[in-house]
Structure 1
């Protein structure tokens, strides 16, 4: 029988642990974990994400601030704000919401964030630490970190002897996901749009991670019987109930669920984990800044 991996429940568990850790840090040192979110422009989806992050931060007992900037904000002004936040000891995590307006170099802004406050895990220092297995001091991007936690809940921390296939090679999900799986001793293949005979490769996977941004691309007969399937995709399609759009993943859930041993749904799988791990990274940053041993989630 297929196990449906409940991302909402695991995310709630992580957030509860973050809240306890924050309370303990405040009681011991007086340091309140602080997070700053910067949004430039008025992209509706970005505004929803920023509001969700702010709400969750307050739930965790954090000091949370938001900088909402106009879409014509100059790159130099944004750099100056990030540098100000870098220097603020009350802030332990800095998030600059993407996408940014076309006149701003997103890569430059990301690299301006101090590596020890880069709770998104995109700074080259954190990317390098992840790639070399220095996970104890790295910040790992939140979506793959959350996906990995779901895999660990299903299969344990040591994945020795298991074949993992990651479909998607983005810097945000695919590549860090592969590095996390390697660190857990899985044998990892990264596939993409130019991979030959992708269905056959997917059928070899004990762990199949789909992160391609193509709705229901991974079909049920691509899934090895008993495999663990992690669907990172979130795609909005027409044809939902009452004429509304519906959310689907990169995996054909109905077909894959017939084959998989465990699978994440969309919504309710990986999605809730992303913000939960963002909160976890922030409280870890606060512990490090206070010279305390950081908790593990």
Structure 2
């Protein structure tokens, strides 16, 4: 696998993914009972934006770079996300971007657990260094799909599995994703599963959604943010999240956030949607 998230840290896809993830986590920690988070493709957890790979692509400029200067009028879910980015940049200048493991660790409480899976040796070592001394966090240098079978169901009854693969195999990746989701939902039927996916040519995703909708989840929510108008298979025009076993009122938290993000991050033709592939029973 050649993918390195450092080239893409803080872009519009990260913004969507992390706004949704934080809304899920906030819903989970409202209850006192402990919860478990599994990040199947965790990366290194923390990325500098002012040097190295991120500076070469400058993708963050079209994502968090546009949002960070905005301090008023943000929808609550976006304000929550921006506050944690501010925490990583206390001097008010955007130098660092926290990945999903670090964002999750900042939300979780002492009774909660986080398991991070990362196959790339250097990335896994960076994660171990980042969380050294944090007994809540376990770092596993292993395949994230296999970890869904190995690490679920957890001893905690509640929690979320974040699945964020690199999609180097393009649409073929969805076959592996669906197999892992079917395994996870069978083993942990009350668990929440959140899948990120890229949007290039939106038409090719229609059969993917039909297949995903047949999985045995109690509810399935789709949240999409498209920042480039048109369908071009040569670039990532947007991205989406499918959430299985949706936390209560997640749709209400995201409904005002995504159109606002489309306006702030998008070009002509930008749009968003929050809708149900499977309504709650």
| Normalised-by-shorter TM-score class | 0.3 to 0.5
Higher strand share: 2
Larger radius of gyration between Structure 1 and Structure 2? 1
TM-score of the aligned structures, taking structure 2 as reference length? 0.35
